[in-house]
Amino acid sequence: MRFAAVTLGVGFVGTILASYLQSPSVASAESLVARMSPPAHLIAAETAVPAAPAAMRLIDMRNGANCKVPSPADGDGALQPLPIGGECSASPELSRVAYWQTREDGSLVMADNGGRTVLEFIPGDGVLYESIYPTNALITIVAARG
């Protein structure tokens, strides 16, 4: 039953779209595209990098190690000291981290004492950041509560 309803709905929308696109005027097609496009303020809201909270919680999903750290300061892109402690020392990757930096594209890099990249994160969906390097790291960063 749901399949039939979906099929009819898609067919109806397709018929209307085809009738608009078959009109002789290019302006009509452009008008249709403009009406179907989301408003600019919604597009800007989706692509904007959210502001970091005052504190974040680093969580190693493999062993449950987690700790609360202050958010990195928006700086000039230079490495900043990262005060990791507590349970995070139980995480093989997080225990090696000494510095971090935020990049213009919204990504976050964590480095060891020698400045070598240990972890790299991108803004996440439902979390502040999710790890992308190394590929076997399962570390996420969420806003810290309390």
Contact 143, 51 (CB under 8 A): no
Which contacts qualify for 94-100: CB closer than 8 Å, 24 or more apart?
Answer: 94/58, 94/60, 94/65, 94/67, 94/119, 94/139, 100/72
pLDDT tens digits, 61-113: 999 999 999 888 766 678 999 988 788 989 999 999 999 998 888 899 999 99
Cis peptide bond prior to 38, omega within 30° of 0: no
pLDDT tens-digit readout, 37-54: 666 655 554 555 556 678
The domain limits of the chain are: 2-37, 55-143
CB 87 within 8 A of CB 67: yes
Q: pTM of the prediction?
A: 0.62
